[in-house]
Amino acid sequence: MKLRFLPLMVSAALVAPVASSALASNAGQVLEPARADVPASVAVWKDDKAKMDAFISELIGKMTLQEKIGQLDLQSGFRNNTGPFVNEDYENQIKRGQVGAVFNSYGADFARSLQQMAVEETRLGVPLMIAHDIIHGHKTIFPQSLGEVASWDPELVKLGAKIAAREATADGIMWTFAPMADLVRDPRWGRVSEAVGEDTYLTSVMSVARVQGFQGDDLSKHDTMLATAKHFVGYGLAQGGRDYHTTDVSEHELWTTQMPQFKAMVDAGVATFMTSFNDLNGTPATGSKFLLTDVLRDKWGFEGFVVTDYTAVNELVPHGYARDDKHAAEIAFNAGADMDMVGRTYINYLEELIEEGKVDESKIDHSVRLILEMKWRLGLFEDPYRYFDMARAEKEILSDDNKALARDAARRSMVLLKNDNNALPLNQDELRTIALIGPLADSKRDMIGNWAGAGPAHLDHVITLKQGLEERLEGKVKVNVAKGATYAFLREEGSPFAHDRFNYVARQTRDDAALQKQIDEAVKLAKQSDVIVLAIGEQEAFSGEAASRTDLQLPGNQIELMKALKPLGKPMVAVIQSGRPNDLRWESQNLDAILHAWYPGTSGGHAIADVLFGDYNPSGKLPMTFPYNVGQVPVFYNHKSTGRPHDEWTQKVRSQEYTTRYNDAPNSPLYAFGHGLSYSDFQYGEITLSSDTLTLDGELTVSVEITNTGKHAGEEVVQLYTRQMVGSITRPVQELKGFDKVHFDAGETKTVSFTLTADDLAFYRADMSWGSEPGDFQVMVGTASDNVQRLSFKLID
């Protein structure tokens, strides 16, 4: 078959930002050159714009300055804790008409009560927007975001967002702070669990899919909601992998890897943007006119509104960029941040700043208009209570259909990292007993992961691995369960943890006798069993916001447990749950099979059982590299070559001495970007090209014949990469340009084709102009970034 890639593919022309080469207002930051063939984005909304403009103009004309500023304020309720503090007076503030939106306040009845305050107890009755962090589900929880992307299936990702929107909008929520599109290369950073991975192209495709899933094609429908492109921009490159830290990014890196996914979401019509916590090249993003006005509005044509992250305006002060909160409000608002999240700097200081001439009231009117436009598009002025439907909530939320879809998403997301001697799938007919050992064997809270929305309040619906195996086996195979180890951070007696106040993260003082007793019990149980299934990984709170780590090995004494089980000679299969790439050196060297399940969600236990027993053939691929050890970090597939490249496999050791390498570890990661095994065997034929040359206005077809030589039907993610051999700046050794997830019956052969054009080879050249350069290229097709075939071609004038 011939593919121009995927229906959701965002072409290079669309992804490329549009801008001017003139210096921006921030010193040292350059807007890239304008392109006549790519106009600034213009969202297409299904509304009567003239009618909307007339209504909003009349409403703004009736507002006092205090009421206008109130629309620029976002407050948090108490139903979730997602930041450092909550304003306890927020309900009275609503009644004063000084709140534009509220989050962490879900539940149809409760959210309705807040809306009644705004509509029925204020002078003008302007309705609230109710928001929440709907990241990978509302109450039916889909796989952790990074795991869901491991499906390499944009339609599945879109469906997950769509189901989340259906549930949330029935429960009083009409705005989500997702998708997160920060490019991530450092697994020490906890928020990689919320991200898409290390590749800009994949991040663009999946972020657009999520926007489409949340917003649908009409925001006025009762089951769609506003999406938020976050965090703008550079947050994922925090120094040291430590949350909220500084990012320092070159111009080429900024425009090549950080910006395209956000431009793609603008083109897809995303309704709102969120600023990031970090400073970018010396300017905090929340105070960057360059980002929020020069790029986002003036060059990209974004028509929605910008909200700050949680107290990000106030944080301009400790950044050393503002003298005090008043100065911070002046900077952030004039930079282009329309709505202040929680910090109340706009409420407290904008009126005074207008009187002093430091803020223009016409800009207040403009920001208010942008926010009221979204309320109009959501249908709130027509019916402010349309999202508080108890009957629809009862029917929609946690329905059997939703849980079945979450189960399918979970099993499609799992990545089979290792499978020596076909240890998986397990054969039920050959088993009498299974030893299910590990701290994650029967943990409902850990199944749904971090940023799980309202999921933690509905753990009775969550299926653990123990439950999933027992229901799958129906008593025909006995499942013996032992915890065996702890996944807590262990400390020696008397040595403090830096952050013991966060008691939701499992920490304990090391007690060797108690830990050994757990291990002994697990070993005893394993001796009586035919196979050992290890339920290991990280507590869900070990990743997510403010959850950075310096050690990527599995925490606690889980490795000690496995070392004790290894001498038994039993088959050992690991199911790993975590929200990040871990250091799995010991596991990779000693276990028979490793299935990475991420945090699989509400129906995760059923999904894992489906994969372990071959009811579903795993098809996931890694969206992020797994390092050999933490010392390699950051390690990612599309790095550049050096003047002294290292050949990992050369026999000429002396000739490789003065090359870019480590003395104590390989350069190559443990598991590469795009890696993922199957119970099928996919044999790739030789790739072919329609020509060995490509013209600037032509096309090049890349084809490969693939056969499933295994006994199982399955899906293969066929990946297309290119490399420019010589450029006006140094170029990556690989760049993902396309992929296709193809189903094969056992024994079936298919031809998979991709089409390349000169636009697919374009990049920001030495002078920051956008375009392709004639010369030599390689094209690569394969099953992972480190397992490809290569052919050469020329791009010619």
Q: What is the per-residue burial (b if ≥16 Cβ within 10 Å, else e) of 742-778?
A: bebeeeeebebbbbbbbbbbbbbbeebebebbeeebb
Q: Give backbone dihedrals phi and psi of 49, rounded to 5 degrees, phi first.
A: -65, -40
Residue with the two structure tokens 């396309």: 738
- By the 10 Å C-beta count (0-12 exposed, 13-18 middle, 19+ buried), 492 is classed as exposed
Residue whose C-alpha is closest to residue 273's, from 60, 545, 43? 43
Q: What is the DSSP letter of 520?
A: H
Q: Are 155 and 9 in contact (CB under 8 A)?
A: no
Quote the CA–CA distance of 360 and 352 in Å, as a whole number. 11
**Type and span of the H or E element at 794:** strand 787-796
**Type and span of the H or E element at 435:** strand 433-437
**Type and span of the H or E element at 722:** strand 714-724
Quote the CA–CA distance of 255 and 250 in Å, as a whole number. 9
Q: Are 400 and 406 in contact (CB under 8 A)?
A: no
- What are the structure tokens assigned to 64, written together? 């006092």
Q: Are 536 and 575 in contact (CB under 8 A)?
A: yes
- SS3 state at 559: helix
Quote the CA–CA distance of 710 and 681 in Å, as a whole number. 5
Strand-strand pairing, 73-76 and 340-341:
parallel
Which of the following is catalytic: 309, 446, 610, 759? 309
Residue whose C-alpha is closest to residue 243's, from 187, 311, 292? 187
Strand-strand pairing, 787-796 and 775-784:
antiparallel
**Type and span of the H or E element at 111:** helix 108-120
Q: Are 93 and 99 in contact (CB under 8 A)?
A: yes
Query: Does the annotation count 309 as an active-site position?
Result: yes
**Angle at Cα 10 formed by Cα 9 and Cα 16, nearest 5°?**
155
Question: What Rg do the C-alpha atoms of the chain give, in angstroms?
Answer: 27
In angstroms, what CA-CA distances link 370 with 376, 760, 789? Answer: 10, 35, 50
Quote the CA–CA distance of 617 and 194 in Å, as a whole number. 25
In angstroms, what CA-CA distances link 271 with 35, 268, 473? Answer: 24, 9, 47
Cite the active site residues: 309
